[in-house]
């Protein structure tokens, strides 16, 4: 990511209200995600983090306002790392099969992946250090390795914006640190924008360029420094301050 290049605004939330059946959980939400950004969404359970995530992914319409996505994202090109399901942990598929499945967006009928897709997949696996696991069985990998494979798949779906839903949940501290370092690399060196829902407030404060805190019908958006100075940050992130 060169500094001279114009930073694209991938997601622009303009005065957005979100919720279900007319009952708003989020109101008057304004923020942007631009290339090179690292946004962490924090807050208590049930504060609407998943609702926000669904809306950012385009799976839930806002009650009012608009979530404007960059034209390059129109074809569903968001690299999403969902929380793992129980069924997945025991899934018979090779790492290569899983990573290649990231290319499906918008494609119709076809039997084979193109050579270009295959080489991109291999490149992404290389970036995440899972290339030598190409033919390994997904269910036999460690939790950290599985997350890397899913990240490689997410990169195949979209090379510019990653949306992660509690990626370190269930990982041991070493694997979590490893994952954070990888994300930092992708963010700093490749300029990939990262949006992450997390409970790990320490790491959020350490790596993020912006924090979005979800509270009961209120929210806070700002840099980690601003966040720590705010009433939310004083209570929630107090340990570091």
Q: Minimal distance in Å, beta carbon 241 to other proteins?
A: 35
In 3-state terms the chain splits into helix, strand, coil percentages (rounded to 5) of 40, 25, 35
Closer to other proteins by CB, 2 or 85: give it: 85
Cross-strand partners of 18:
26
Q: Minimal distance in Å, beta carbon 77 to other proteins?
A: 7
Closer to other proteins by CB, 152 or 201: give it: 152
Give the distance from CA 217 to its chain's centroid.
23
Provide the sign of the torsion angle of the four alpha carbons 14, 18, 22, 27, taken in this order.
negative
Closer to other proteins by CB, 98 or 201: give it: 98
145/152 Cα distance (integer angstroms): 11
116/33 Cα distance (integer angstroms): 29
Q: Minimal distance in Å, beta carbon 136 to other proteins?
A: 8
Q: Which residues bind other proteins (CB under 8 A)?
A: 57-59, 75-78, 80-82, 85, 87-88, 91-94, 97-98, 101-102, 104-107, 109-111, 135-137, 140, 150, 153-154, 157-158, 163
Closer to other proteins by CB, 133 or 228: give it: 133
3-state secondary structure of 131: helix
Phi, psi dihedrals of residue 88, rounded to the nearest 5°? -65, -30
Q: Minimal distance in Å, beta carbon 229 to other proteins?
A: 34
Q: Minimal distance in Å, beta carbon 134 to other proteins?
A: 11
Closer to other proteins by CB, 3 or 108: give it: 108
**Contact of 134 with 94, CB cutoff 8 Å:** yes
């Amino acid at each position: 990511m060169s500094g001279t290049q114009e930073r694209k605004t991938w997601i622009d939330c303009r005065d957005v209200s979100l919720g279900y059946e007319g009952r708003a959980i989020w109101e008057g939400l304004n923020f942007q995600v631009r290339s090179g950004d690292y946004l962490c969404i924090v807050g208590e359970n049930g504060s609407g983090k998943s609702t926000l995530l669904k809306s950012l992914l385009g799976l839930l319409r806002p009650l009012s306002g608009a979530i404007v996505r960059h034209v390059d994202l129109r074809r569903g090109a968001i690299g999403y790392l969902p929380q793992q399901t129980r069924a997945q942990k025991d899934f018979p598929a090779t790492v290569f099969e899983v990573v290649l499945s990231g290319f499906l967006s918008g494609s119709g009928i076809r039997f084979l992946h193109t050579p270009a897709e295959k080489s991109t997949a291999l490149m992404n696996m290389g970036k995440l250090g899972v290339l030598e696991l190409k033919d390994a069985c997904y269910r036999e990998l460690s939790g950290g390795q599985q997350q890397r494979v899913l990240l490689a798949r997410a990169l195949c779906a979209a090379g510019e914006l990653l949306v992660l839903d509690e990626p370190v949940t269930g990982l041991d501290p070493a694997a979590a640190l490893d994952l954070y370092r990888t994300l930092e690399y992708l963010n700093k060196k490749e300029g990939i924008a990262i949006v992450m829902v997390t409970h790990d407030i320490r790491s959020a404060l350490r790596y993020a360029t912006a924090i979005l805190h979800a509270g009961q019908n209120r929210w806070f958006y700002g840099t980690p420094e601003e966040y720590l100075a705010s009433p939310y940050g004083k209570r929630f992130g107090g340990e570091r301050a």
